[in-house]
Amino acid sequence: MIWFLLFVLAVGLERLVELVVSRRNLRWSLERGGHEIGLEHFPVMVVLHTGLLVGALLEAWLAPRSFVPVLGWPMLVVVVLSQALRWWCVVTLGPQWNTRIVIVPGLSRVTGGPYRYLTHPNYVAVVAEGIALPLVRTAWITAVTFTVLNAALLTVRIRAENRALQQLTPATAA
C-alpha cells in the first residue's frame, strides 16, 4: 500500500507542477489581452481531479484488495504514458497551454505535436489516467465514478474549448 500512496503523491505533485506552469501561462496570456471562458466549470474540474487522487487512496485503504499484477502493471504503464502525452501537449502548446480556457487575440491554433493527430489529446490523457490510476490498486469504484463524472464534465469543457478554438486565427504547425 505504501508504494501506491507514494505513486499517487507523485501524480499529485505532477499536478501541482502543472498548476505552476498554468499560472505562469495565464499571466503571459493576460498580458497579451487574453480573456478566460468556461469559468463556471473550472471549480468542478478541480474538485473532480482532486477526488480522483483522494478516492483512489481511500478506496485502496478502506477496501483493501490484493494487487492484481495482470491489471496493476499495465495500468501503471497507462498512467505513465498518459503523463507523457499530457506533457507533450504542454510542451507543444508552450505558453498557450493552460488548465483554464484562455483566448489570446491574434494567436493561431496549434496543429503540431499531438494536435496533428487529435483535436483534444490532453483529454485522452485525462480519460486514460482517470481509469488507470485507481486500477493500479484495483480501486474500480473510483475508476468508474471518476470516468462517469469526467465524461459529463468533458462534454461541457470540450464544448467551451471548441468555441474558444473558433476564435483563433487559422492553424499553424508548431
Per residue in 107-144, pLDDT tens? 989 999 999 999 999 999 999 999 999 999 999 999 99
Task: Kindly provide the residue ranges of all beta strands, DSSP E only, lying in the chain, ordered along the sequence.
Answer: 35-37, 101-103, 108-110, 169-172
Domains of the chain from N-terminus onward: 2-172 (1.20.120.1630)
Specify whether the CB–CB gap between 132 and 80 falls below 8 A: no
CB 109 within 8 A of CB 170: yes
Name the burial class of residue 86, with classes exposed (0-12), middle (13-18) and buried (19+) by CB atoms within 10 angstroms of its CB. Answer: buried
Closest CA to 109 of 173, 152, 171, 46: 171
What's the pLDDT score for residue 171?
Answer: 61
pLDDT tens, residue by residue, 89-109: 999 999 999 999 999 999 989
CB 132 within 8 A of CB 71: no
